[in-house]
Amino acid sequence: MIKVVLLGSGNVAIHLAEALANEKNIDFIQRFSRSHNNDDFFDKTIPIINNTNELKSADIYIIAISDDAISAFSKQLHLNGLVVHTSGSISLNDLQCNANKGVLYPLQTFSKKQKINFKNIPIAFETEIESDLTLLETLAKTLSNHTYNIGSQKRKKLHVAAVFANNFTNHMYKIASDICKEHDISFDILKPLIQETANKLLTLSPKEAQTGPAKRNDKKVIENHLLQLNKNQKEIYNLVTNSIIDTYNSK
């Protein structure tokens, strides 16, 4: 059984802790948390420490803290075993400890309040040393049904792609919701459209799924839309519309 220690208490750590605690094939022996908030923890039987000197011996230490803290935090750890972080954008080599290094990146958007099935979350994993790969792969496959051995360079590309697919998509929802709010229209009217936009990708590529005035290069509708937007919305509308027009007119 793989002995695991989890370090961190943010959104990723909260959901990862729940997944680790639920797996019978994982010996989840300890959590480290500076903020030490027991309310956030799914399984209260896992011992929580707030001093790194109290860390027990484990096979894998998972550092699930904010990207910019990983390097400095890992520097103060003196551990044997495999130390991995969970970030999409940070290189494996940013881990500054003497232990063996790896990455276990769950590619999903985590919010505290939102329940999620970890088995459906794709996990990209890598290790510095080849001989650690089987151990980390076993942990990844225990947590998720979708695992990928991806190196740091490729993982960075995947992370920026994920920013478009999630962060920027969500911001498009945000602008749509702002327009609704401003004109006293229920945002609920748009929710089936939003669901269908995502569902279409199960059978169509994004290029095939596109519809609307920009794809048709329908100048009249586009001009009319621009009249109804504020400065910031207009800038985004123009840039994305032109990018869609280019996609369908240049190929």
Residues 106-125 that bind its own copies (CB under 8 A): 107-111, 113-114, 116, 120-122, 124
Query: Minimum CB separation from its own copies for residue 47, in Å?
Result: 29
Integer Cα distance of 67 and 87 in angstroms = 6
Select from 13-21, 23-31, 95-103, 202-210 the region that touches its own copies (CB under 8 A).
202-210
Q: Which of 50, 54, 196, 230 binds its own copies (CB under 8 A)?
A: 196
Q: What x-and-dash track marks residues 126-165 binding its own copies by CB under 8 A?
A: --------------------x-x-x---x-xxxxxxxxxx
- Residues numbered 206 to 225 that lie near its own copies (CB under 8 A) are 206-216, 218, 220-221, 224-225
Q: Which of 3, 55, 138, 200 binds its own copies (CB under 8 A)?
A: 200
Question: Do the beta carbons of residue 17 and residue 46 sit within 8 Å?
Answer: yes
Three-class SS state of 33: coil
- Comparison of 6 and 162: residue with beta carbon closer to its own copies: 162
Task: Tell me the one-letter amino acid at 88.
Answer: G
Angle, helices 169-182 vs 231-249, to 10°: value is 130
Select from 40-48, 56-64, 72-80, 226-234 the region that touches its own copies (CB under 8 A).
226-234
Provide the total of helices (H) and of strands (E) in the chain, helices listed first. Answer: 10, 8
Cα within 13 Å of Cα(19), Cβ side: 24
Query: Minimum CB separation from its own copies for residue 243, in Å?
Result: 6
The DSSP result for 46-89, as a single string, is: S-EES-GGGPPP-SEEEE-S-GGGHHHHHHT---SSEEEE--SS
- Residues numbered 2 to 61 that lie near its own copies (CB under 8 A) are 11
The DSSP result for 91-148, as a single string, is: -GGG--SSSEEEEEEE-S---TT----GGGS-EEEEESSGGGHHHHHHHHHHH-S-EE
Q: Which of 46, 92, 99, 244 binds its own copies (CB under 8 A)?
A: 244
Quote the tokens at residue 34: 């500076």
Q: Which of 57, 134, 177, 230 binds its own copies (CB under 8 A)?
A: 177
Task: Tell me the one-letter amino acid at 236.
Answer: I
206: buried, middle or exposed (CB in 10 Å: 19+, 13-18, 0-12)?
exposed
- Comparison of 80 and 232: residue with beta carbon closer to its own copies: 232
Q: Which of 185, 217, 230, 249 binds its own copies (CB under 8 A)?
A: 185
197 binds its own copies (CB under 8 A): yes
Q: Which of 89, 96, 149, 152 binds its own copies (CB under 8 A)?
A: 89
Integer Cα distance of 157 and 153 in angstroms = 7
- Comparison of 2 and 162: residue with beta carbon closer to its own copies: 162
- Comparison of 43 and 196: residue with beta carbon closer to its own copies: 196
